[in-house]
Amino acid sequence: MSILEKLYEGKAKVLYRTENPEILLAHYKDDATAFNAQKRGTITRKGEMNCAIAAHLFQQLAAAGIPTHFIDHEGAQMWVRALKILPLEVVVRNIAAGSLCQQTGLTLGTPLKQPLVEFYYKNDALGDPLLTDDRLLLLQLATPAQVEQLKSMARRINNVLQPFFQQCGIILVDFKLEFGLDHSQALVLGDEISPDTCRLWNQSDTDPKRRVMDKDRFRNDLGSVETAYQQVLERVLAHPIQSIQ
């Protein structure tokens, strides 16, 4: 399929139109950013690694009946269904880390009795602030029915991904999702699921620095970033897609 013009360049991916208006091509970049793009760098081979990890996870989610935008992938390129992305970051947390610790005083690593689902406003200029349900409705970022559906889909996704990563010897601490609407206005999981968008800890290591297998290695200058992403890729690909009903 021939590539047409560039539609949008984000921090981690470039989206291109294709000759089919319902299909976009996402090129995963090696560029890495953190702290709302105040910190920038490159992670060698990140694009192809994240693309392969995300492709595998999207296929595992599809096998569990969750609608995703994934169509196909090759190298650092992923063909996806064109969606109208909601300006929301849906975050699921199993263990306290990051801004949850900073904003609540919970100790890093505290297991949460039940997964926490949070919405953030996807707006770089405002610093992606945490939303309440009422603010979300006030800003008309989603309808009340969509809010409930997003929460339920986020929990279902966690119920697939958490055991999947556990089989890989990886603890799924938290992750960020983006959803969009397809041509029939149905909610579909979009964007990516990768070490850029998840906190992943090596199950067999309790050292708070050594266990980190995600973008926190880049954020916090922990070193061996490529090696960590490569390990996630190898472990994920070693676990074939299972049909889950």
36 vs 206, which CB is nearer to ligand ADP?
36
Pair of tokens at residue 117:
């689902």
Pick between residue 37 and residue 237 the one whose CB is nearest to Mg ion. Answer: 37
* Interaction site with ligand ADP (CB under 6 A): 8, 10-13, 15, 24, 69, 80-83, 85, 178, 180, 190-191
Please check whether residue 71 is in contact with residue 79, taking contact to mean a CB–CB distance below 8 angstroms: yes
Beta carbons of 218 and 44 less than 8 angstroms apart = no
Q: Which residues bind Mg ion (CB under 5 A)?
A: 12
Partner whose footprint covers residue 31, from ligand ADP, Mg ion, none (CB < 5 to 8 Å by kind): none
- Degrees, nearest 5: CA angle 97-217-111: 20
With CB under 5 to 8 Å by kind, the binding choice for 83 among ligand ADP, Mg ion, none is ligand ADP
The conformation of residue 187, written as its DSSP 8-state character, comes to E
Q: Would you give the DSSP letter of residue 54?
A: H
Shortest Å, Cβ 68 to ligand ADP: 9
Q: Which of ligand ADP, Mg ion, none does 190 bind, CB closer than 5 to 8 A by kind?
A: ligand ADP
Supply 134's token pair: 């009422």
Closer residue to ligand ADP, CB minimum distance, 85 or 244: 85
- Smallest gap from Cβ 240 to ligand ADP, in A, equals 25
State the binding partner of 85 from Mg ion, ligand ADP, none, CB within 5 to 8 A by kind: ligand ADP
Other beta carbons within 10 Å of 22? 12
d(CA 28, CA 57): 15
CB of 83 to ligand ADP, least distance (A): 4
Measured from the CB of residue 42, what is the shortest distance to Mg ion in angstroms?
Answer: 16
Report, in Å, the least distance between residue 231 CB and Mg ion. Answer: 22
Total residues belonging to the chain: 245
Q: How far is the CB of 126 from Mg ion (least distance, A)?
A: 16
CB burial of residue 123 (10 Å; 0-12, 13-18, 19+)? middle
Q: Where are the alpha helices (DSSP H) in 115-224?
A: 133-138, 144-167, 216-219
Q: Based on CB atoms, which residue is closest to Mg ion, 64 or 83? A: 83
Could you tell me if 53 and 195 are in contact, meaning their C-beta atoms sit under 8 angstroms apart? Answer: yes
> For residues 81 and 211, which CB has a smaller minimum distance to ligand ADP in the complex?
81
Nearer to ligand ADP, 190 or 195 (CB): 190
The residue type found at 10 is: G
Q: Which residue is nearest to Mg ion (CB)?
A: 12
